[in-house]
Each structure stands twice: as structure tokens, then as C-alpha cells.
Chains A and B, each alone.
Chain A
Amino acid sequence: SSELTQDPAVSVALGQTVRITCQGDSLRSYYASWYQQKPGQAPALVIFGKNNRPSGIPDRFSGSSSGNTASLTITGAQAEDEADYYCNSRDTSGNHQVVFGGGTKLTVL
């Protein structure tokens, strides 16, 4: 399948922990990568591989995977974490597509 499914919106109280999920058949073979996008900016990679953060990404961001579901967890959410988050992988049905989830709007209360 070439689809990745995300909840459209999630909210978290400042300083609390939030999990954003991504479901899809391709995630049984691929680690999801996760991107943060703030208004007017290009997406920025925050998690890749099993649970890796690019340089400069705070360690409150972490990733995990189980079966067909990948999760991005923010432990101790900050106001600056309010953004859209997208998961991404490649399709495993043979057509070599790159696929994105529909995105999750995170609101920090």
C-alpha cells in the first residue's frame, strides 16, 4: 500500500508528553522519518532511521515503531514545538514511490 495515515490534529499541555502516530503497511518494512513544518518554512527532518535525530534537534524528540505503526514522541513539549508534523517512507508495493502522511497539526496549550 502507498498510504500513510496520521491524525489531523493533536494537542498537548505545555511541558507534557505527546505522541503523534503514523500507520501504513510500508512501515512493516521501513522506519518512518518525521518532519516538522512551521508556517512559511520548509519541512525539517526531526527523526530518521530507528530513532536518530539530526544535529540540532532537541533530545525531547524521539521515534519508535511497532508493526504497521510509527510514533513520534515529544517529551516535555515546548511552545516552539507547535507545528505540522509529517511522516514519510517509501512504498513497498513495488512502484518505488515516496509517500507522506497527511500531516498532524500539533497545538501546545
Chain B
Amino acid sequence: QVQLQQWGAGLLKPSETLSLTCAVYGGSFSGYYWSWIRQPPGKGLEWIGEINHSGSTNYNPSLKSRVTISVDTSKNQFSLKLNSVTAADTAVYYCASGSVGVITNYYFYYMDVWGRGTTVTVSS
């Protein structure tokens, strides 16, 4: 059973860079899309971006200019960097594994394994 363990700094000042890492244990690193999702206090889920094992990335257009997601296949880890943070970036940040495929001309996508979340607070 795949497990995700995530870590990173929880308190940042405005304009600093958020940096989180997620390690994949107990399963294959290839064949999946590894995502970062965040949830501001009292609000819904927002997808930040994803990377696959070969390093191909997709980002949320609203965050693309500030986000970098990278992968270290030698360690089965992927990381998130979000620069120039503001109070609006205060949220719980999750990593998750995504699977995509097609069944009789209909696609599917789901995230079946999630990290426990890291609370990131941006405050001066």
C-alpha cells in the first residue's frame, strides 16, 4: 500500500518561498501523476499542479507564474516550491497520487492516496 509522507516549513513571512517535499513509500513511483493540492482555512480544495516520474509538469494557470514542482526519482520524492508568498497562500497543503486512464471512450482520473497535510501560515 502506497503511503505519502510530506514535510516542510510551516511558518513563512510574506515574499518568502514555500518549500514542501513528499516521499512515496511502498509502491511504484512511475505510472502516476503526483499532485499538490491546497485548502485555505474554511475553503475548498485547490489543485496546484502535478508531475510524473519523467518530470513532465502541469500547473494551475492561476499559480503557474510562482510554482515549481520537481521530482527526485532516486529518492521517490517530489517537491513543491511556491515563491513570493502572501497571506492568501495560507492553507493546508496536501500531496497526492493521481491515476488517469480510459474505459470504453470515457476517461477517468482520481487521487487515491493523500499525504496527511502540512499547515502553512504566511504572516509577518
Contact = CB atoms under 8 A, between A and B. Distances in A.
Interface of A: 29-31, 33, 35, 37, 42-45, 48-50, 54, 84, 86, 88-90, 95-103
B110 A45 contact: yes
B108 A31 contact: yes
Given A29-B106, A42-B94, A50-B106, A96 B117 contact: no
A73 B112 CA distance: 19
B103 interface: yes
B7 interface: no
| Chain A contact residues, majority secondary structure | strand
B20 to A, nearest CB: 14
Nearest to A65: B106
26 contacts: A30-B107, A30-B108, A31-B106, A31-B107, A31-B108, A35-B45, A37-B45, A42-B115, A42-B116, A43-B45, A43-B114, A45-B110, A45-B111, A49-B108, A50-B108, A86-B44, A88-B109, A88-B110, A88-B111, A90-B107, A97-B60, A97-B61, A98-B50, A98-B58, A99-B47, A103-B44
A44 B108 contact: no
Given A33-B109, A49-B103, A54-B112, A97 B45 contact: no
B112 A48 contact: yes
| Chain B contact residues, majority secondary structure | strand
B102 to A, nearest CB: 10
Contact of B61 (A88, A95, A103): A95
B112 A96 contact: no
B63 to A, nearest CB: 11
Given A31-B106, A86-B44, A101-B44, 5 more contacts: A29-B106, A42-B94, A43-B45, A88-B110, A98-B58
